[in-house]
């Protein structure tokens, strides 16, 4: 067992996620787990998008890429509900990328969630 080097102090800050359906990383990992469990990617994307919108999001966009449904050629499938203003700087857009391994290869999942606009302080 090796000893830790005490020259540097490590500080960990834990923050509670108030609503996991509005966190893009948790949503992407949830879709990845569903695809690993052999749930259809279209069903997983649509159900997650609807649940996220019910949780209070202003918009959501989900992209799954890879050998979807065991296809010979990789392709991308998109689902989007309402708008995701990617060029508006004052909009609060959360982005995450997750990967999952299937029997056919790797599938990448990208998620954009628009929560609203930043509050002026």
Please write the tens of the pLDDT for every residue from 10-24: 888 888 888 888 999
Nearest of 29, 27, 33 to residue 115 by alpha carbon: 27
Nearest-angstrom CA–CA distance, 101 and 64 = 13
Nearest of 34, 87, 91 to residue 59 by alpha carbon: 91
Model confidence pTM above 0.85? no
Q: Is the pLDDT of residue 1 over 50?
A: no
Please write the tens of the pLDDT for every residue from 29-79: 999 999 999 998 899 999 999 999 999 889 999 999 999 888 899 999 998
Nearest-angstrom CA–CA distance, 27 and 42 = 15
Domains and CATH numbers, the chain: 20-117 (3.30.1140.32)
Task: Decide: 85 and 93 in contact? Cβ < 8 Å.
Answer: yes
Q: What ranges make up the beta strands (E) of 1-121?
A: 59-66, 75-82, 91-101, 106-117
């Amino acid at each position: 067992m090796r000893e830790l080097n005490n020259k540097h102090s490590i500080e960990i800050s834990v923050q509670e996620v108030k609503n996991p359906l509005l966190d893009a990383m948790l949503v992407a990992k949830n879709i990845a787990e569903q695809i690993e469990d052999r749930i259809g990617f279209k069903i997983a994307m649509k159900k997650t998008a609807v649940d996220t919108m019910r949780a209070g999001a202003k918009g959501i966009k989900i992209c799954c890429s890879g050998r979807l449904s065991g296809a010979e050629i990789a392709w991308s499938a998109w689902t989007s509900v309402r708008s995701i203003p990617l060029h508006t700087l004052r909009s609060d857009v959360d982005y995450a990328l997750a990967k999952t391994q299937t029997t056919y290869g790797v599938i990448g999942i990208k998620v954009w969630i628009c929560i609203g606009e930043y509050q002026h302080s």
